[in-house]
Amino acid sequence: MVWFIPTSLFAASVSFEPPSLVANQAKPFSTTVILNTEGQNLNAIDGTILISEQLASGITLSDSGSVVTYWVQRPEWNAEKRAITFSGTIPGGYTGQAGILFTIIFPPRLGGSVENAAVVASANSYLNDGLGTPARVSVSSFSLETNGAAPVDQEIKDQLFLDDSRPDNIPPEVFSPQVARDDNVFDGKWFINFATTDKQSGISHYEIQETRSGRLNASGWKQVESPYLLQDQDLHSFIYVVAVDRQGNERMIKVFPRNPLTWWQRYSRDLLIGLGLLVVVTTAVIVSRSRNNQKEV
């Protein structure tokens, strides 16, 4: 007998961490939207979050540290609709209990409690099974309370977007860029994924440089977003990825080529230039000596 399992049995959850905070906040405060796959392997997520009218001004968003590596629609705040919409994919899939999607940052606030300050109005996720099977998603809300804040899970607390008012001379966290390809991203071409966090001022942007020789060129840097379509589809190049925080501190990661060239292939251009210079110099010496011999005769 064959049993068919309804797709509604596959569940995930989208929640907030922390789920509540003290109502009065003298500095900007935030809550992070978290994906719990409930043991499933998911490769896509989208949804809408509604914000209470009492908090619907001055909102900013950060997707630093997100498990989503390819945004179809990067988290976007619509003040008129008081809604945040997002849609993204995770090539290779994600399984975990504390996957950061993005962080909602609110301005300082003085006021009373707000029961449903932010509510996940809708959310859809899909299994990484090659079929795009929908996975049922449970949702929750974020509140401001007058009786204190809920405790924050330490694993998530270490990744949250933190207050940037403190002096920051610490570079972003160490990270591990991944070279990959997926039929649904860049038409199956090779790309590189990267993401990290900065616990003080937050990530400003990323820069990248590909070089077959392994040597860096000061003018060769490009400001990019993840995922980034690699220019060298033969994967012969060294790839340097730099994460820059909002105070200008940098963390550089070097990715070695998957298909490295031999030393003479890497430096063939330099060898040709050197050989050309040698030919020019040698020719000049021969011509000069020839002219001197003619004068002596």
Give the tens place of pLDDT for each residue, 26-81: 888 889 999 999 999 999 999 999 999 999 888 988 887 788 888 889 899 999 99
Please tell me whether residues 20 and 125 are part of one structural domain: yes
Same domain, 200 and 120: no
Instruction: Return the minimum-mean-pLDDT range out of 52-61, 186-195, 279-288.
Output: 279-288
98 and 31 in contact (C-beta within 8 Å)? no
Residue 51 sits in the same domain as residue 113: yes
- Return phi, psi of residue 137, to 5°: -120, 125
Domain of residue 240, residue span:
178-255
Looking at residues 9-38, what average pLDDT do you find?
86
Q: Is the pTM of this model over 0.75?
A: no
Shared domain for 81 and 185, answered yes or no, is: no
Residue 190 to residues 71, 206, 220: CA-CA distances in angstroms?
17, 18, 20
**Higher-confidence position of 167 and 211:** 211
Within this chain, do residues 109 and 128 fall inside the same structural domain, yes or no?
A: yes
> In which band, very low, low, confident or very high, does the pLDDT at 271 lie, cut at 50, 70 and 90?
low
Tell me whether residue 297 is in a domain.
no
Q: Classify residue 113: in a domain, yes or no.
A: yes
Q: What percent of the chain has pLDDT over 70?
A: 82
110 and 235, same domain (yes or no): no
pLDDT of 123 over the 90 cut: yes
Q: Are residues 30 and 153 in the same domain?
A: yes
pLDDT tens digits for 104-114?
Answer: 999 888 888 89
Q: Is residue 173 part of a domain?
A: no
Flag whether 34 is in a domain.
yes
Q: Is residue 125 located within the same domain as residue 236?
A: no
Same domain for 105 and 39: yes
- The pLDDT tens digits for 144-157 are 987 644 444 444 44
Name which residue leads in pLDDT, 226 or 156. Answer: 226
Q: Judging by beta carbons within 10 Å of its beta carbon (0-12, 13-18, 19+), is residue 73 exposed, middle or buried?
A: exposed
Task: List 120's β-bridge partners, or say none.
Answer: 49
pLDDT reported for residue 225? 86
Query: What CATH number is attached to the domain comprising 102?
Result: 2.60.40.680
pLDDT band at 208 (very low <50, low <70, confident <90, very high): very high
Q: What residues have CB less than 8 Å from 174, skipping those under 6 apart?
A: 196, 251, 253
Choosing from 97, 127, 157, the residue where a domain stops is 157
Distance of CA 208 to the CA centre of its chain: 13
Between 86 and 7, name the one with better pLDDT.
86
Neighbours of 279 (CB within 10 A): 10
Q: Count the domains in the chain.
A: 3
User: pLDDT class for 181, splitting at 50, 70, 90?
Assistant: confident
Q: Kindly state whether residues 21 and 48 are assigned to the same domain.
A: yes
Q: Is residue 169 part of a domain?
A: no
Tell whether 27 and 110 lie within a shared domain. Answer: yes
Q: Does residue 147 share a domain with residue 32?
A: yes
Residue 272 has pLDDT above 80, yes or no: no
> At which residue do the structure tokens 């992070």 appear?
32
